[in-house]
Amino acid sequence: MIVNKPLVLTYLYLLIYILLSSGVILYNKWVLSPKYFDFPFPITLTMIHMGFSGAVAFFLIRVFKVVSPVKMTLEIYITCVVPISAFFAASLWFGNTAYLYISVAFIQMLKALMPVATFIMAVMCGTDKARCDVFLNMLLVSVGVVISSYGEIHFNVVGTLYQVTGIFAEALRLVLTQVLLQKKGLTLNPITSLYYIAPCSFVFLCAPWYVLEKPGMEVSQIQFNFWIFFSNALCALALNFSIFLVIGRTGAVTIRVAGVLKDWILIALSTIIFPESTITGLNIIGYAIALCGVVMYNYLKVKDVRASQVPENISDRIAKDWKLEKKSSDTFTPNNSSDNNGGGSGGNISSSDMNVDEEAPLIPSSRLSHFGRTQLSK
């Protein structure tokens, strides 16, 4: 029996991605929940992740020279990186705080609203047009989420507002990434994204941390276990790279399908690991309706992209084949720019072809939308 090694490796990467993504979400819930590790300081946890990720990226770029930094000017940094980092920090802050109030399963169901939020922000920013068919899909998603929320036994208004606010902050970050960075021709791989955005997000989180969490940390008995926080931050960082590897070998569509599978696995696991996370039939029905809307929306976007691709005429095709034949006969010279972007197939992926995961939002988003939000250090 002949084993297809590339296919096996691809499935292995997908498995690692699903395990890491699910593991990071459950790990964060366990750390933050008062019923378990009892570290109810989500901003502090996020700052630990940002500091760790920024430090790792600095060493990879400046010390070990794994990749080269992009040509970042002060004007691009102020007008692009700073606002993107601000909304990134906000999405992490609100998303992580939701863990204190609502269950992991219900949070995953609320994340079905991500395409709705992204579509609304894209229309407001002028990167997408309001269409009747897309609006009906978004309405279907919203109805499904409302039904799922109605069926939630432990519904909490505060936690729901935190999560929805975080979703819209992340949606605005995704649109800003497309509007600001992509229009300037700047493509960031996971390492360079961490290098530029993580430290800036850390700075933005300092103000709310000083006002909201510092006073509470001074008077409470804090459990600080170095290995728990180190392993938690390491898992979040590894998730970023696993997504990059998966997209490099498969594509954004495949990782979206894997993301749906991961969501269902995560909902099931959360009810086992956290017994208080009870799922009702109405939860499942609402979430299934919402997912149907999301799938239809992504199908429309894929159709739009294919329709926008003009078929090549015969003369263009002949000219292209001639150029490829001529190029193949030339002496091969390594492409330094490809190596600098991370090497391999993953290094040349444009940000428009990338997806975003709930725990790794530094990975650029796909213009075909996605099934759920995610955060690097949720």
CA distance 222 to 219: 9
DSSP track, 138-199: HHHHHHHHHHHHHT-TT--HHHHHHHHHHHHHHHHHHHHIIIIIGGGT----HHHHHHHHHH
CA distance 257 to 110: 18
Q: Which amino acid is at 239?
A: L
Using a pLDDT cut of 90, give the percent of the chain over it.
Answer: 44
Residue 48 sits at φ, ψ, to 5 deg, of -60, -45
Question: What's residue 87's pLDDT?
Answer: 96
Q: Give the other-Cβ count within 10 Å of 365's Cβ.
A: 24
Per-residue pLDDT of 88-115, as tens digits, reads 999 999 999 999 999 999 999 999 999 8
* 351 has pLDDT over 60: no
Where residue 319 falls among pLDDT bands split at 50, 70, 90?
low
- Residues 299-326, mean pLDDT to the nearest whole number: 59
Comparing 11-20, 83-92, 248-257, 349-358, the range with the smallest average pLDDT is 349-358
Which one has a higher pLDDT value, 302 or 18? 18
Question: What's residue 359's pLDDT?
Answer: 52
Using a pLDDT cut of 70, give the percent of the chain over it.
Answer: 80
* 332 has pLDDT over 80: no
Question: What's residue 223's pLDDT?
Answer: 73
Q: Which tokens hold the place of 231?
A: 């392993």
- Residues 128-134, mean pLDDT to the nearest whole number: 88
- Residues 277-291, mean pLDDT to the nearest whole number: 90
Residue 64 near residue 249 (C-beta atoms within 8 A):
no
* 318 has pLDDT over 70: no
* 34 has pLDDT over 80: yes
Would you tell me the crossing angle of helices 226-249 and 5-32 to the nearest 10 degrees? 150
Residue 102 sits at φ, ψ, to 5 deg, of -130, 165
Q: Is 359 helix (H, G, I), strand (E, B) or coil?
A: coil
Residue 365 DSSP label: P
Which one has a higher pLDDT value, 71 or 351? 71
- Residues 255-283, mean pLDDT to the nearest whole number: 85
Q: Which amino acid is at 256?
A: R
Angle among Cα 40, 200, 47 to the nearest 5 degrees reads 20
Of these ranges, 121-135, 152-166, 174-188, 213-227, the one predicted with the greatest mean pLDDT is 152-166
Question: What's residue 316's pLDDT?
Answer: 55
Where residue 186 falls among pLDDT bands split at 50, 70, 90?
confident
Question: What's residue 309's pLDDT?
Answer: 65
- Helix ranges (H only) for the chain are 5-32, 42-58, 74-76, 82-97, 104-110, 114-125, 132-150, 157-176, 190-208, 214-219, 226-249, 252-273, 281-308, 314-329, 336-340, 344-347
Question: What's residue 368's pLDDT?
Answer: 33
Where residue 357 falls among pLDDT bands split at 50, 70, 90?
low
Residue 32 near residue 40 (C-beta atoms within 8 A):
yes
CA distance 251 to 74: 33
- Residues 150-158, mean pLDDT to the nearest whole number: 92
Where residue 360 falls among pLDDT bands split at 50, 70, 90?
low
CA distance 149 to 144: 9
Q: Which tokens hold the place of 278?
A: 């009870």
Exposed/middle/buried for 270, CB within 10 Å: 0-12, 13-18, 19+?
buried
Question: What's residue 328's pLDDT?
Answer: 40
Residue 61 near residue 192 (C-beta atoms within 8 A):
yes
Per-residue pLDDT of 193-229, as tens digits, reads 889 999 999 999 999 999 999 998 887 777 788 999 9
Instruction: List the beta bridge partners of residue 353.
Output: 366
Comparing 126-140, 178-192, 336-350, the range with the smallest average pLDDT is 336-350
- Residues 33-41, mean pLDDT to the nearest whole number: 91
Whole-Å CA distances, 160 to 111, 303, 333: 11, 33, 54
Where residue 1 falls among pLDDT bands split at 50, 70, 90?
low
Which one has a higher pLDDT value, 366 or 7? 7
